[in-house]
Amino acid sequence: MIKLFPTSLLVDANILIRSTFNQGPNHFLRLLSDRNIDLYSTMSIWQEAEKHLPEISRDRNARMLQERLQERKKYIDLIQVVVYDEQNHLRLSAQARLPKRASHKKNSSNDWELIAVLLGFREPNCAILSNDKDFWGTGVPVWTLDRIKSYLDGFRPCT
């Protein structure tokens, strides 16, 4: 039987950033975890998200940001850190899959890591969770937050 929904997701930096400011991604991450979907990311993806937080939060209330960061800590434990060095031999293959426009953008410099990890995973039903269009057309499965919402809205547990 072919499973349509992945059993593991590699979480991109844009999802980690959105999880800080929006309740939606946190909610989805919890729902996915509750449905036994394994969530992963790499350390440099976490670092990329952390690097962009001050810039993004400039227009936000400092108190609200602190509240969001505290809320985010509840969800961080849902995402396991993967060491991509084990998949470093897949770097060239992963980078070749990215569109040329993506490989030159500063904010997409770590996208190849998620592709390399996905290619090296032993998990056959794994996908990338990202709203980044640079992953489209790379030959790897990608789920966006809106697609996950559609899936979860239609999810009816068997009774």
**CATH number, span 8-152:** 3.40.50.1010
User: Using 50, 70 and 90 to split pLDDT, how confident is the model at 22?
Assistant: low
Contact criterion met (CB below 8 Å) for 115 and 140: yes
In terms of pTM, does the model score above 0.95? no
Least confident of 10-24, 32-46, 91-105: 91-105
Band of residue 134 on the pLDDT scale cut at 50, 70, 90? confident
pLDDT tens per residue across span 49-91: 777 777 776 666 666 666 666 666 666 778 888 876 666 788 8
What are the pLDDT digits (tens) for 87-128? 678 888 888 888 875 544 544 467 888 898 898 887 778 999
Q: How confident is the model at residue 17 (pLDDT cuts 50, 70, 90)?
A: confident
Query: Of 149, 140, 89, 80, which Cα lies nearest the Cα of 114?
Result: 140
